[in-house]
Amino acid sequence: MLEQKNNRYLMFGMNDRKYGVKLKFVKEVVSSFNFTEVPGAPKYFVGLLNIRGKILNVIDLKSRIKKGDSKIEPNKNAVIVIEMNDHDVGVLVEEVFRVESIEQDQIESVQLKNSDNKNSFVTDLIKKSNIIILDIRKVIDLDKLIQLEEEKSA
């Protein structure tokens, strides 16, 4: 079962471009939401989201990877809930397409020129469709989000 989940990806879109994240990090996708803003938060921090009594920090993926800011449209956007250690984090994207199984021979590792690869959000490219695979763990600045949680609790 773990083997199956390792080659499955959740595909989503931003700026007319397709991206993917490993399904093993995805807990759920939420299409109906209402955020509570947090003053003084980083620009990419959308706010807080209450999902069935659990409060999640939500980041704007488009802003976080420096591709602009998302226009929040609850009927179009989606929040992908990512499991990160003991924290669930919401990631706002423009749209979610589907889950796909991708064979390893269809994935090419990406070495970005003029970039510090260890800090790059991009890990792989799906050859046949040019879908960019993101390392969602690097995208989410968990330390910063934990700091915000501690500040809102104080």
Compute φ and ψ for 64, nearest 5 degrees.
-65, -35
Q: pLDDT per residue over 85-144, tens digit each?
A: 778 899 999 999 999 999 888 888 876 655 554 447 777 888 888 898 888 888 876 556
Q: Is 142 helix (H, G, I), strand (E, B) or coil?
A: helix
Banded model confidence at residue 2, pLDDT cuts 50, 70, 90: very low
**Residue-level pLDDT at 152:** 54
Banded model confidence at residue 147, pLDDT cuts 50, 70, 90: low
| Helix, strand, coil in percent for the chain, rounding step 5 | 20, 45, 35
Range with lowest mean pLDDT among 2-6, 43-47, 73-77 = 2-6
Q: How many CB atoms lie within 10 A of CB 10?
A: 22
Number of domains making up the chain: 1
Domain CATH code at residue 105: 2.40.50.180
Cα distances (Å, whole numbers) of residue 79 to 110, 111, 113, 137: 26, 28, 31, 16
Average pLDDT, whole number, for the chain?
A: 81
Q: pLDDT per residue over 5-60, tens digit each?
A: 568 999 999 888 899 999 999 999 998 888 898 888 888 888 999 999 999 989 99
Cα–Cα distance, 33 to 57 (Å, whole number): 13
Residue-range definition of the domain harbouring residue 37: 2-153
| Predicted structure pTM score | 0.80
